[in-house]
Amino acid sequence: MNNERFLISYHIRLQGKVDRGLASWLPELSLTEEMDGNTLLDGELPDQAALLGVLFRIHNLNLQILSVEIRNPKVLEAPHGTVQNG
């Protein structure tokens, strides 16, 4: 059985500047204002369900998504003799 889990790094670009107070709605991501006036959300998520949760929250905040980029996944190995679900 494969005991590997992955964390996938995502870059999500949003149109315009996002109020830093909204960052509490997206604690798993860091918020950076870009030079072009848009906002970059950056962080690692364990799976697509977590990504969909983030995208749903962004939608509920009435923010416009410009792009979603997947970066290199990180492999998290489970200690020998344990099985990780997920």
Instruction: Express each pLDDT in 20-62 by its tens digit.
Output: 888 888 888 999 999 999 999 999 999 999 999 999 999 999 9
In a domain, 27, yes or no: yes
Q: What is the domain extent for residue 54?
A: 4-77
Structurally, the chain folds into a number of domains equal to 1
In a domain, 41, yes or no: yes
Tokens representing residue 19 in the block: 């109020």
In a domain, 47, yes or no: yes
Share of the chain above pLDDT 70, in %: 79
Domain containing 14 — which CATH number?
A: 3.30.70
Q: What is the pTM of this model?
A: 0.76
**Can you list the pairs that 13-17 forms with residues at least 24 positions away whose Cβ atoms lie under 8 Å?**
13/38, 13/39, 13/40, 13/41, 13/65, 13/66, 13/67, 13/68, 13/69, 14/38, 14/39, 14/40, 14/41, 14/58, 14/63, 14/64, 14/65, 14/66, 15/39, 15/63, 15/64, 15/65, 15/66, 16/64
In a domain, 85, yes or no: no
In a domain, 82, yes or no: no
